[in-house]
Structure formats: C-alpha cells, structure tokens
Structure 1
Amino acid sequence: MSGRKQFDIGAALDQAMRVFWQRGYADASLDALGSATGLGRGSLYGTFGNKETLFGACLERYASIYGAQYEQALAAHIGDPARAVEAFFDVVLGRIADPSVPVGCLIAQSAAQSPTLKEENGVQVRGLLDTQRQRVRAALADSSADSRTLDELATFVVAVNQSLAVLSRAGTSDAELRSVARLACTTVADTLARASSEDAGQG
C-alpha cells in the first residue's frame, strides 16, 4: 500500500527470536529488538503488540522450527526407543553446533530466567518443556519398561537436553557435549535393556 513501509513479518519475527535467544528476555531491550528487526518502536507495538506478546510469538516460532525436527528424529526409529533418543540428541547437538544461530536454546534460556517472565510467558515456557517431555515419552512407549521408569527416563532426557544448552553457552566444547549426550544415551539404552530382561525373566 502506498505510503506504508512494507516488511516481511516472518523475517522480523526470526530476527526478534534471535535477540531473545542470545540475550534472554530481560536483556532484550526494545531498542535491540528494533535494531534487529528494522522496525521502530511504534511498528513493533503495532505489529506484534507489547514485548511479552512478541516474546510469546518468538517462543512459538522456535518451538515450531525445532519441535518438528525433534518429532521427525524421534519418529524415525519406531520400535527402537534407544536409537530414537540418539537421533533426538543428534538434532540437539546439530543445533548447538550451527554457527548461523545463537548458542544454546531459547527455551532453556527462557526457563533459566523464569523469575523475570510475565506469568503468561512462564506458563508458555513450562508448557513447551512439557511438550518436549511428552514427545520423548511417546518415543519410549514401545518398550517393556513400566510407566514410571519411562516417565523418569523422559524427564531425564529433557533435563540432559537443557543441560547441554546451558553448557554450550558456557563454552563447553563440542567433544564434551557429545560425551554427555553419549552417556545419556547409554543410560537410556541400559535402563530399557534391563527392563526388557526383567520382563523376559518374569515371563
């Protein structure tokens, strides 16, 4: 439309997401968000609402991008839950090693700053973590382990995932991160194998 500046909303949202990802919610100032997106404060408010609304939209965009990758990895090894977890961590480590995006994980960054978030955003972050846990839990379901063990393993995998993100921001090397992930995968595989052995023994 004549007289109005045209811009790609999706691209602006991606740039805002990177600011939140790199700086965290508290330190992502409107000036920084405006500089990254190329939008003035008025345009930011007019397009996305307030900072909390923009942050929520960025969380959803992040979750849609990487959530789809997690789902694909976890679903690629039906009948082999241990291998599915390995594939999940491959995606996680690939994201961490990707030089085109900020270090770490937006969800982990946001979870660490939960006390500074508005209630709605805090609920959203917890919901995204729970969605991640549910995805992993579903991939583990094709196992003879009891429900409690599978619930604990799913929580464990998500905890390791979040830890990898935090460690990467602290400068931990790729080799060390892969060692952590490898030990986590071994723990999952050993736990599932033990459950299967116990189930066979009882049979």
Structure 2
Amino acid sequence: MPGRKQFDVGAALDRAMRVFWQRGYADASLEALCSATGLGRGSLYGAFGGKDALFLQCLDRYASLYGAQYEQALAAHPGDPVRAVEAFFDVVLGRIADPSVPAGCLIAQSAAQSPTLKQENGLRVRGLLDVQRQRVRAALADSSADTRTLDELATYVVAVNQSLAVLSRAGASDAELRSVARLACTTVADTLARAASQDSVQG
C-alpha cells in the first residue's frame, strides 16, 4: 500500500535506544542511528522526526519497559517496604547483569549529559527520575516514619540506583554492586526501624 512504512517501528526504536544507551545522546550520531535502525537519514526524520524526537521516544520506550518491572517489584510486598526496596534492587541488578543490553542505564546516562540536552529532553529525563522516586516513595508509605524521612529515603534509593548504573559502566563487578545495594537496603531498614522506635516512645 502506498505510504505504508516498510519496517518495524518498535524494532527500530529498540535499536536506536541501544545506541543512545551505549553512547549517550551527545555521541549518538545520525550515522550511528541510521546504521542501527537500517534507515536512511530522510526515512529516519520521516518516521521519528529527527534525533531529538527519536531520543524522546527512546526514553519513553526504556521507561515503559523497565519502569513496569520496577513498579511490579515495588508493589509485590505490601506492608514490607524493606523487602520492596530489596526487590527493586534485584530488578536493577538483573538488568545490569543482562549481557544482551548495554551496561548501565539509559536514564542515568542521559542525566549525566543533561547539559548537552535540549530543554525538553532534559525535563523528560528529570521527569523520569521523579517518577522513579514516586514509585519508591509509594512503597515506603506503609512505614510509620514521618513524611520528610520517607521523602529523603526515596531520593536516597533512587540516587543509589543511579550510582549502580554508573559503577557498572566503570567496570564494577556484580559482587561489588550487590554489596552497595545490600548496604542501601540496610540503611533503609535501619532508618525505618529507628523511626518506628521513636514513634513507639512518643506514643
């Protein structure tokens, strides 16, 4: 049929996402994106609207793919926020250890390059980090800790997650990364236990 796209849009997005993930936005040249997707420059622009628009779509695809896994892990242990955070890091470490995908995290990679991004793209990256923090914060809500403590813990967990991605790209071993995650979970558990103890004394 005239005008019908003769390629798999989802597959092309996945391949482009890997280029951004592996190289970062700044070093993901149009040539590399065209080579990965199998599209000429004109077809790439026609299908996705250019590099910046393609980058936004890749961010959304990445967030949809892994965000669903994070959300499922965090929601799988109602009433047990520490176990929820442990499950979250299990998913994160599983992605990092997966040899079929690039090292690190597309969002962490993009956040590190925020100064080179157009405003819209930078805001999207920040928004995705905020969504991640909101998911973690919701998993912590069953605790008796005060709002400020829970907000700070959620930000802390997201910061550790991003650090794991950076460390993995620098060549940290799985054992080293799991040690970081384990200590983070201990920090969360200790902070929540301390808050519960204080609440009990005050009560």
What is the distance in 2 between the residues matched to 1:117 and 1:76?
35
So what's the TM-score if we normalise by structure 1? Answer: 0.98
Aligned pairs, number: 203
Q: Secondary structure at the match of 1:104?
A: coil
User: Equivalent residues in 2 for 1:13-92 (5 A)?
Assistant: 13-92=13-92
The CA deviation string for residues 98-153 of structure 1, in whole angstroms up to 9 with x for no partner, is 00000000000000000000110000000000000000000001010000000000
Pairing 1:95–2:95 present:
yes
What is the distance in 2 between the residues matched to 1:4 and 1:10?
15
Query: Which amino acid is the alignment partner of residue 109 of structure 2?
Result: Q
Query: Which amino acid is the alignment partner of residue 72 of structure 1?
Result: Q
- Cα displacement (A) at 1:200: 1.2
What is the distance in 2 between the residues matched to 1:180 and 1:64?
26
What is the distance in 2 between the residues matched to 1:163 and 1:3?
45
Q: 1:4 to 1:136 in 2, by over 3 A?
A: closer
Partner of 2:194: 194
What is the distance in 2 between the residues matched to 1:108 and 1:34?
24
- Cα displacement (A) at 1:197: 1.1
Give RMSD over aligned pairs: 1.0
- Cα displacement (A) at 1:5: 6.2
Partner of 2:127: 127
**Deviation beyond 2 Å, 4+ runs, structure 1:** 1-5
Q: Secondary structure at the match of 1:65?
A: helix
Partner of 1:106: 106
Unaligned runs of 5+ in 2: none
Q: 1:3 to 1:55 in 2, by over 3 A?
A: closer
What is the distance in 1 between the residues matched to 2:2 and 2:124?
38
Query: Which amino acid is the alignment partner of residue 198 of structure 1?
Result: Q
Unaligned runs of 5+ in 1: none
Between the aligned residues of both structures, percent identity stands at 87
Q: 1:142 to 1:115 in 2, by over 3 A?
A: same
- Cα displacement (A) at 1:4: 6.5
- Cα displacement (A) at 1:201: 1.4
Query: Which amino acid is the alignment partner of residue 110 of structure 1?
Result: S
What is the distance in 2 between the residues matched to 1:198 and 1:26?
48
- Cα displacement (A) at 1:15: 0.2
